[in-house]
Structure 1
Amino acid sequence: MRRGIYLLEEVDFRPMNSQRPLTYLTWLTGYKKEDEEREAPELTEGLSIRSRQIDLVGAFYAVGITGHPQFKAVTLWDCHGGWDGGWRQMMEIYDGVDGRLFLSDIDDLRFSAFSRPLGAVHGSPALADVCAEGYAAPLYLFESATVRPGAALDYLAAVREERAPILADHGHRPIGLYEVLFCDTEVVTVWGVSLDDHLAAQRARDAALGLDDEAEPDERLLAWAKRARDYLDGPWRETLLAPFPGSKLSPSRVRSGSSSAG
């Protein structure tokens, strides 16, 4: 089995306008839905590479109150076929630097975008299998961590063996355990979770800290935080993502309304 290769992109919108991420996510999920029936990849004006092998698995609105810049969108892409599949198709569009690369239907909508190429590690589920199962969560926990140079795989192995069972007891399901490629200091993990389980996990941590006497403490949450410091060497952050209707990891593919909440 080939290693899973994925791409995670964070998109910022300035000036602050809540309709910009809505417009972007609606546009993106719409045209990628059309690509599911495409037979062969094609470079087009305005939409760049069109391919069913470059699969938009997750499109998310970043929950700003958990630590994201407001307003922000996050997307998660599956390169079907790995290096020689969707990744090759994305790289081939740079052969000759075709002028169509510089034309976009959403010019001036985005302020900035930052992409991380991701490589799945042992124990990380294949996103295609997750989608085929029909799994979708109302929220996704997104972790980005800076580790000691060369410690990425060791950290992710510890997450799989030690942290995942703890989070499973709090209703968190691992969606992806990823080494950030082309560097040796960063990892990304993604977990599906309900709002109730998210809140219960926070209260269990508070109780373990002696800050909540009405909830059951889970000392393992604090023990893991201490254990993680064996590998961490810089910024570590967890934030929440809300799946946008129309993406494969969303419980609903039909948009029922909009909100300008952070």
Structure 2
Amino acid sequence: MRRGIYLIEEVDFRPMNSRKPLEYLTWLTRYKKEDEALDAPELTRGLSIRSREIDLVGAFYAVGITGHPQFKAVTLWDCHGGWDGGWRQMMNIYDGVNDRLFLSDIDDLRFSAFSRPLGAVAGSPALADITAEGYAAPFYLFESARVRPGAALEYLDAVRRERAPVLADHGHRPIGLYEVLFCDSEVVTVWGMSLEDHLSLQRARDAALGLDDEVEPDPRLLDWSRRSRDFLDGPWRETLLAPFPGSRLSPAQAPPGG
């Protein structure tokens, strides 16, 4: 079985205008819905490659109170067929750099966008399997971490063996464990959970710190924090994401107004 290749993108909207992320996510989810009827990739209206092999699995509105510049959207893409499938199709649009690639319906809507190509590691679920199952969570946890150069696979293996079982006990399901490609010092993980599971996890950690005496502590959460420092070499951050209606990982399948 070939390696799963994915793409995650963070999009910022400035100056602060709460309508911009709504307009962007509504446009994007509707645009990609049209691709489900396509039999072969094609370049259309200079917007992007149109293909069922490049699948918008998740479109999310980042929960601002969890710590990032507001406003932000996050998208998660599945390159079906890996390097020789969706990834090849994305690369093909740069062959000759057709002028139409620079004409877009969403020009000036985004302030900036940061894409990271992701490679699934051993034990990471396949997004296609998760969506085929029909799984969708009310919230997702998006972790981005900088690790020691060359330690990405070690860190993710420790996450799979040591952290994932602890999070599972608190209702968190792994969606993807990824090495950020074309660099040797960054990883991304994504987890699905309910709001109640998110809250219970935070309180269990507080209790382990001696800051909440009304719930059962889970010292394993603190054990992982110490263990992770064997691999980390810089910023580590988790952000909560709310799935936008119309993407495959959203419990609601229709975008607002759709």
Determine whether 1:55 maps to 2:65: no
Deviation at 1:44, TM superposition (A): 1.9
**C-alpha distance in 2 between matches for 1:15 and 1:68:** 15
Alignment of 1:31-42 (within 5 A): 31-42=31-42
Aligned to 2:159: 159
- Where 1:160 maps in the other structure, the secondary structure is helix
Gap change, CA 1:12 and 1:50, over 3 Å in 2: same
Alignment of 1:217-256 (within 5 A): 217-255=217-255
Alignment of 1:140-219 (within 5 A): 140-219=140-219
- Where 1:95 maps in the other structure, the secondary structure is coil
State the TM-score, normalizing by the size of structure 1.
0.97
2:195 maps to a residue whose letter is L
**C-alpha distance in 2 between matches for 1:191 and 1:167:** 9
**C-alpha distance in 2 between matches for 1:76 and 1:238:** 16
- Where 1:17 maps in the other structure, the secondary structure is coil
Deviation at 1:256, TM superposition (A): 5.8
Higher mean displacement: 40-49 or 163-172:
40-49
Aligned to 1:91: 91
CA displacement, residues 220-251 of structure 1 (integer Å, 9 cap, x when unaligned): 00000000000000000011000000000000
- Where 1:96 maps in the other structure, the secondary structure is coil
CA displacement, residues 127-180 of structure 1 (integer Å, 9 cap, x when unaligned): 000000000000000000000000000000000000000000000000000000
Determine whether 1:110 maps to 2:113: no
Higher mean displacement: 43-52 or 235-244:
43-52
- Where 2:114 maps in the other structure, the secondary structure is strand
- Where 2:73 maps in the other structure, the secondary structure is strand
Higher mean displacement: 146-155 or 47-56:
47-56
Aligned to 2:71: 71
**C-alpha distance in 2 between matches for 1:60 and 1:244:** 5
Checking the alignment, whether the CA contact within 8 Å between 1:46 and 1:105 is kept in structure 2 is no
Deviation at 1:254, TM superposition (A): 2.6
1:29 maps to a residue whose letter is T
Q: List gaps (5 residues or longer) in structure 1.
A: 258-262
Checking the alignment, whether the CA contact within 8 Å between 2:170 and 2:201 is kept in structure 1 is yes
* 4+ residue runs over 6 A deviation: none
Checking the alignment, whether the CA contact within 8 Å between 2:174 and 2:190 is kept in structure 1 is yes
Deviation at 1:253, TM superposition (A): 1.1
**C-alpha distance in 1 between matches for 2:198 and 2:13:** 27
**C-alpha distance in 2 between matches for 1:118 and 1:57:** 14
Aligned to 1:43: 43
Checking the alignment, whether the CA contact within 8 Å between 1:144 and 1:238 is kept in structure 2 is yes
Determine whether 1:134 maps to 2:161: no
**C-alpha distance in 2 between matches for 1:256 and 1:102:** 28
Checking the alignment, whether the CA contact within 8 Å between 2:26 and 2:256 is kept in structure 1 is no
**C-alpha distance in 2 between matches for 1:71 and 1:249:** 21
- Where 1:36 maps in the other structure, the secondary structure is helix
Between the two proteins, the alignment pairs up a number of residues equal to 257
**C-alpha distance in 1 between matches for 2:120 and 2:230:** 22
Deviation at 1:68, TM superposition (A): 2.0
2:4 maps to a residue whose letter is G
Deviation at 1:46, TM superposition (A): 4.2
**C-alpha distance in 1 between matches for 2:76 and 2:69:** 18
1:40 maps to a residue whose letter is A
CA displacement, residues 3-57 of structure 1 (integer Å, 9 cap, x when unaligned): 0000000000011001000000000000101101111111122422111100000
Deviation at 1:65, TM superposition (A): 0.3
State the TM-score, normalizing by the size of structure 2.
0.98
Q: List gaps (5 residues or longer) in structure 2.
A: none
Checking the alignment, whether the CA contact within 8 Å between 1:47 and 1:104 is kept in structure 2 is yes
Determine whether 1:4 maps to 2:15: no
- Where 1:74 maps in the other structure, the secondary structure is strand
